[in-house]
Structure 1
Amino acid sequence: MTLCMDLKICKTNVSYIEEAVVPMQKQNENLNQNEQQKLGTYMGYKFETVCTLNKPWEASSRTEIETREGNIVDNTPQYASVVRYRIGEVRLILGGEVDCVWDYKPEPPESPLSHYVELKTSKSQKSPKDRSIFERHKLLKFWAQSFLLGVPKVIVGFRSDSGLLQSIRTFETQKIPGIVRQPSGYSPWNANIAISFAEGVMKWLRMNIPKGDAVWRLQFRGGEGVEVYKLPETELCFLTKEFMEWRKSQNPLKEQRG
């Protein structure tokens, strides 16, 4: 699997990063998926469809509640969460999608973070090996995504190979690192190390990528490492001209000093 991200570091030392969707790469990944993998992706979307309603429970009719298993799968409805925090010396403003809310989304100025929920699926665990794989790989991904966006709860549906939902378990995001820690003290991954690595990557990029108008691409291939290269000027920047003009208008003196 290949993950691409585009990076631009302005003269004001503000870094902008966005996940890059490379059409040819996406097409190749889809072609390389076998039928079982495609079915697994669909199962995840179906789980989200069955677990959610378009409005709060008390505002939904009996028919809407009882017939949602037959709803057409659509993975586009989602919430967008924007959070601000610090990782070591790096300050971040991060935006990302969230599957749903547990009960309702409060009106501003109340924060909706405590209401957000992520929905995931995984194969049922039939052996200690299955559990080890789940904790080493799946729980790490679930924790990282939800931790970064401030989502407090992850609900996982465990399914059979044929897609039959067999059990559901709710994980509190903050407790996931402790769940994978064994009585002996061994842990397949460490949350503090993961956070420190993220800080290290951000600091390295800011120290080594030139500031200016150029856009750089970070390409991560599992098991192969990370490649960083400059995109040609003919490729459009993910930051629009309107956004950059607005950004400069917010702090013109700082922009001029850069």
Structure 2
Amino acid sequence: MGVPEIIVGFRTFAGQLVTTKTYKTADIPKLVRNKEGAWSPEICWQWGQHFLSSLRALMARQASSGEPGSEPQTRVWRVILTPNKGVTVFPLEKGDILNTGDNEQRTGFLPTWYVNQIMTGA
């Protein structure tokens, strides 16, 4: 595994951090196995598969919705995950994509050089 251990912060309901504990990543499934309401890798994988399949279908529909015979428009999408509410996905407009400071190396998680190349078609 690429992440040998993680540090977990425990907090009050008001959000104040009260303690931390380090866990070996490989031990986590054993720690939660058969505990009611515990983390489940199967649920995480199923959610991830469903989300990525839905995202791929959304982007495929967007790519095929152009004029017949026209070049498909390249888009940059923003994905926002809000815990206990869901996922919001929407395409960014050119101004939103290029809205970075002069010294920034990234636009979201994309390298700025990549975004610039996509926007200029170079």
TM-score bucket (shorter structure): 0.5 to 0.7
Aligned counterparts of 2:76 and 2:86: Cα–Cα separation in 1: 20
Letter in 2 for 1:186: E
Structure 1 residue 154 displacement after superposition: 2.3
**2:4 aligns with one of 152, 155, 159:** 152
- SS of 1:234's equivalent in the other structure is helix
- SS of 2:95's equivalent in the other structure is coil
1:214 — aligned with what? 75
Identity in percent = 28
Structure 1 residues 180 and 236 mapped into 2: Cα distance closer, same or farther (>3 Å)?
same
Query: Could you state the TM-score of these two structures normalised by the residue count of structure 1?
Result: 0.29
Aligned counterparts of 2:91 and 2:43: Cα–Cα separation in 1: 29
Structure 1 residue 232 displacement after superposition: 1.9
Letter in 2 for 1:203: S
Structure 1 residues 199 and 163 mapped into 2: Cα distance closer, same or farther (>3 Å)?
closer
Aligned counterparts of 1:197 and 1:186: Cα–Cα separation in 2: 19
Query: Could you state the TM-score of these two structures normalised by the residue count of structure 2?
Result: 0.53
Structure 2: gaps spanning 5 or more residues: 64-72, 99-106, 118-122
Aligned positions, number: 92
Structure 1: gaps spanning 5 or more residues: 1-112, 114-149, 247-258
Aligned counterparts of 2:91 and 2:9: Cα–Cα separation in 1: 41
In the alignment, is the contact (CA less than 8 A) between 1:180 and 1:187 conserved in 2? no
**2:114 aligns with one of 243, 248, 252:** 243
1:137-185 CA-to-partner distances (Å, cap 9, x unmatched) read xxxxxxxxxxxxx2011245779xx9887xx754211221220224xx5
RMSD: 3.5
Pick 1 or 2: higher relative contact order, CA cutoff 8 A, min separation 6.
Answer: 1
Structure 1 residue 190 displacement after superposition: 0.7
Letter in 2 for 1:190: S
